[in-house]
Amino acid sequence: MPVTPKNAATVILLRDKKPEGFDVFLLKRHEKSSFMGGNFVYPGGRVDRDDGSLEICSFSKGVTFDEAQKILGGTFSPEESFAHWIAAIRELFEEAGVLLAYDQKGNLFQPKNSVERNRFLDYRGRLQRGN
């Protein structure tokens, strides 16, 4: 019976470890997960409809629709490519708590205090609950 693939995105994070090579960031799936239970995986998951919304896209910095399409090999439209790009970033935050974001000054985001850290933990919890 043929299976229809679902649009999904994943992230491979590498950290340069000279001279040894690279550290690779992986997650271990819960043993009882219905998909890949107990296995080590790259963070990722399905592309949601909202991942390509104009509202979400307005918060993006650094990659345009056309650049996302080129980076992802031209298989999808520019809009679909960008949605995959956003989905990968969202899934990384949702699954692993790693947020690839900039602050208002254009610097890589780092929570400044426990109040801000807790606010982003709440955002992550909302994502995990589908909100």
Q: What CATH number has the domain bearing residue 83? A: 3.90.79.10
Q: Residue 40 is part of which domain span? A: 8-128
In a domain, 1, yes or no: no
pLDDT given for residue 103 in this prediction: 84
pLDDT given for residue 27 in this prediction: 94
Task: Tell if the pTM clears 0.75, that is, is over it.
Answer: yes
8-state DSSP, 39 = -
Tally of domains in the chain:
1
In a structure prediction context, what are the per-residue pLDDT tens digits for the chain, which is 131 residues long?
888 888 999 999 999 999 999 999 999 999 998 888 999 999 999 999 899 888 888 888 888 899 999 999 998 999 999 999 999 999 999 999 999 998 888 888 899 999 999 999 999 999 889 88
Is the backbone of residue 86 left (phi > 0), alpha (psi -120 to 50) or beta? Answer: alpha
CB 72 within 8 A of CB 81: yes
Exposed/middle/buried for residue 60 (C-beta within 10 Å: 0-12, 13-18, 19+): middle
In a domain, 3, yes or no: no
Which of helix, strand or coil describes residue 101?
Answer: coil
